[in-house]
C-alpha cells in the first residue's frame, strides 16, 4: 500500500521490464544502438505507428524533449509551447541550452491545451521567429487532446513552417484515454517528433525519441551523439523499451493508471472540488489548507499545484497503483479515516 501520490515516477517498474534488463545483461551485444534490442524497438515503433520511424533511446524525458527541439530549432529561432509546459517550467530550459540559444515562447490555453487562436496571437506578437511548436499529450493539466484538436495544431504548424514536437511523457495515457490510433495522435496529425515516455508507466528509466520525418533523423542523431546520449551499452535502455512495447504492456499499464484516477475522481466527486477534467492519470483537487496539512501529517504525499489556484493539489496514479491505495486516499480526502472503501467501479483495467 502506498500513500505517495506525488507522481507516476515514484513507482518502480513492471516485472517484464526488470526481467528484460536482467536478460539483456547476460551476454555481449553490439554497442551504440547497433544492437538487436534497439533494432526491435525500431520495428515495434514502426508497427505501432503504422509507418517507418527512426528511434533514439534516451534516459530522461528532459533529454528527449531538448534533443528533439534542438534538432529542429536553430539558435536564433524560437519554440512555441504552452505556458504550463514541462519544457518551460521544469527543465531549466534544456532546449535552449542544447539548441545553442533558441528561446521558448509561451502561449496561454485552458486546461493545459493550446488552441489555434492562442497560437495565432502568439505568432503575431512573437519577438523571435518560431521554428517549432511543442505540444504535450497527455497535458500538464491532466487533460488529453483528441486527434481532431491535434490535427488543427498540426495544420497550423505546417501552414506557418513550424516543425511539430509532441512531449509524450504520458503518451500512453493519452492513447488509452482516447482509444485513438497512435498514428492519429502523432504523424497523421502533423507531429514530426515524439518524446515517447516509458519511465512513468512501467520502465525503470527509458524514453525514446520517435522521428516520423525521415529528413529529420540525421539531425536528431547528431545532437543525440554530440550531447553524450548515445550509450555504448544502449541495450540497457532498449531492452526496457522492447519489453514496454511488447504485448501492449504500455497500453495495459496506462489503462490501469487512468482507471485508478477515474476511481479516485468518482469516489470523491461529491465531497471534494475537482478543478480539472480527469482524462488521464492525474486528479487536481482543491482542499482547505488544514485538510491538506492533516493528510500530509497522516503520511500522504502529493504536490501543491499553486499554478492552478490557491489550495489546489495534484494527485497522480500509476501503473501499479492499487484500488486499495485509491480507496484509502479517497476516504482520507472525504475526511473519513479507516476502511471507507468505495464500491468497485468495474473498470480497474488489466494492469497490475
Ligand X SMILES: Cc1ncc(COP(=O)(O)O)c(C=O)c1O
Cis link prior to 138 (omega < 30° from 0)?
yes
Q: Does 62 bind ligand X (CB under 6 A)?
A: yes
Task: Output 40 or 89, the one with its CB closest to ligand X.
Answer: 89
CB 132 to ligand X: min, Å: 16
Q: Could you say which of 54, 88, 167, 192 contacts ligand X (CB under 6 A)? A: 167
Task: Output 136 or 177, the one with its CB closest to ligand X.
Answer: 136
CB 9 to ligand X: min, Å: 6
Contact assessment for residue 193 and residue 166, using Cβ atoms and an 8 Å cutoff: yes
Q: How many residues bind ligand X (CB under 6 A)?
A: 10
Neighbours of 23 (CB within 10 A): 13
Q: Does 84 bind ligand X (CB under 6 A)?
A: no
Q: Which three cell numbers stand for residue 175?
A: 492513447
- The DSSP 8-state label assigned to residue 126 in this structure reads -
Q: Does 140 bind ligand X (CB under 6 A)?
A: yes
Q: Which stretch binds ligand X (CB under 6 A): 58-66, 172-180, 228-236, 297-305?
A: 58-66
Q: Does 169 bind ligand X (CB under 6 A)?
A: yes
CB 293 to ligand X: min, Å: 25
Kindly list the distances between the CA atom of residue 247 and the CA atoms of 131, 231, 242, 244, 250, in Å, as whole numbers in the listed order: 37, 26, 10, 8, 8
Q: Does 173 bind ligand X (CB under 6 A)?
A: no
CB 140 to ligand X: min, Å: 6
Q: Does 61 bind ligand X (CB under 6 A)?
A: yes
Q: Does 199 bind ligand X (CB under 6 A)?
A: yes
Q: How far apart are CA 259 and CA 263, in angstroms?
A: 6
Task: Output 2 or 9, the one with its CB closest to ligand X.
Answer: 9
Task: Output 167 or 327, the one with its CB closest to ligand X.
Answer: 167
- The DSSP 8-state label assigned to residue 104 in this structure reads E
Q: Which residues of 59-91 are buried (b: 16+ CB within 10 A; e: fewer)?
A: ebbbbbbbbbbbbbbeeebbbbbbbbbbbbeeb
Q: Which stretch binds ligand X (CB under 6 A): 33-41, 57-65, 223-231, 260-268?
A: 57-65
Q: Which three cell numbers stand for residue 259?
A: 482507471
Cite the DSSP H helix spans in the chain. Answer: 15-24, 36-49, 61-72, 86-89, 94-99, 116-124, 147-159, 171-178, 217-226, 235-244, 249-268, 289-297, 323-333
Cis link prior to 159 (omega < 30° from 0)?
no
Q: Does 136 bind ligand X (CB under 6 A)?
A: yes
Closest residue to ligand X, based on beta-carbon distance: 61
- Applying CB under 6 A, which residues contact ligand X? 60-62, 65, 86, 136, 140, 167, 169, 199
Amino acid at each position: 500500500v502506498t500513500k505517495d501520490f506525488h507522481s507516476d515516477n515514484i513507482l518502480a517498474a513492471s516485472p517484464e521490464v526488470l526481467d528484460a534488463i536482467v536478460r539483456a545483461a547476460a551476454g555481449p551485444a553490439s554497442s551504440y544502438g547497433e544492437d538487436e534490442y534497439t533494432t526491435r524497438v525500431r520495428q515495434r515503433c514502426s508497427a505501432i505507428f503504422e509507418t517507418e520511424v527512426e528511434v533514439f533511446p534516451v534516459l530522461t524525458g528532459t533529454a528527449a524533449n531538448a534533443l528533439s527541439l534542438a534538432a529542429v530549432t536553430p539558435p536564433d529561432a524560437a519554440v512555441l509551447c504552452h505556458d504550463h509546459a514541462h519544457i518551460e517550467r521544469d527543465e531549466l530550459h534544456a532546449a535552449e541550452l542544447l539548441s545553442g540559444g533558441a528561446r521558448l515562447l509561451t502561449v496561454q490555453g485552458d486546461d493545459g491545451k493550446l488552441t489555434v487562436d492562442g497560437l495565432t496571437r502568439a505568432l503575431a506578437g512573437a519577438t523571435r521567429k518560431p521554428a517549432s511548436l511543442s505540444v504535450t499529450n497527455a497535458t500538464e493539466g491532466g487533460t488529453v487532446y483528441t486527434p481532431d484538436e491535434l490535427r488543427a495544431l498540426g495544420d497550423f504548424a505546417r501552414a506557418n513552417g513550424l516543425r511539430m514536437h509532441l512531449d509524450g511523457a504520458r503518451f500512453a495515457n493519452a492513447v488509452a484515454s482516447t482509444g485513438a490510433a497512435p498514428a492519429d495522435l502523432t504523424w497523421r496529425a502533423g507531429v514530426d517528433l515524439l518524446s515517447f515516455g516509458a519511465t512513468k508507466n512501467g520502465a525503470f528509466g527509458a524514453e525514446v525519441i520517435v522521428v516520423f520525418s525521415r529528413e529529420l533523423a540525421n539531425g536528431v542523431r547528431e545532437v543525440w551523439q554530440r550531447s553524450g546520449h548515445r550509450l555504448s551499452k544502449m541495450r540497457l535502455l532498449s531492452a526496457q523499451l522492447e519489453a514496454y512495447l511488447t504485448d501492449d504492456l504500455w497500453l495495459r499499464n496506462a489503462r490501469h493508471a487512468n482507471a485508478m484516477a477515474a476511481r479516485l475522481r468518482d469516489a470523491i466527486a461529491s465531497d471534494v472540488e475537482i478543478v480539472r477534467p480527469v482524462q488521464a492519470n492525474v486528479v487536481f483537487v482543491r482542499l482547505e489548507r488544514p485538510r491538506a496539512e492533516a493528510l500530509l501529517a497522516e503520511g500522504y504525499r502529493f504536490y501543491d499545484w499553486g499554478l492552478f489556484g490557491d489550495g489546489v493539489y495534484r494527485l497522480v496514479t500509476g501503473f501499479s497503483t492499487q484500488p486499495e491505495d485509491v480507496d484509502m486516499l479517497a476516504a482520507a480526502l472525504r475526511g473519513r479515516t479507516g476502511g471507507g472503501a468505495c464500491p468497485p467501479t468495474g473498470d480497474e483495467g488489466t494492469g497490475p
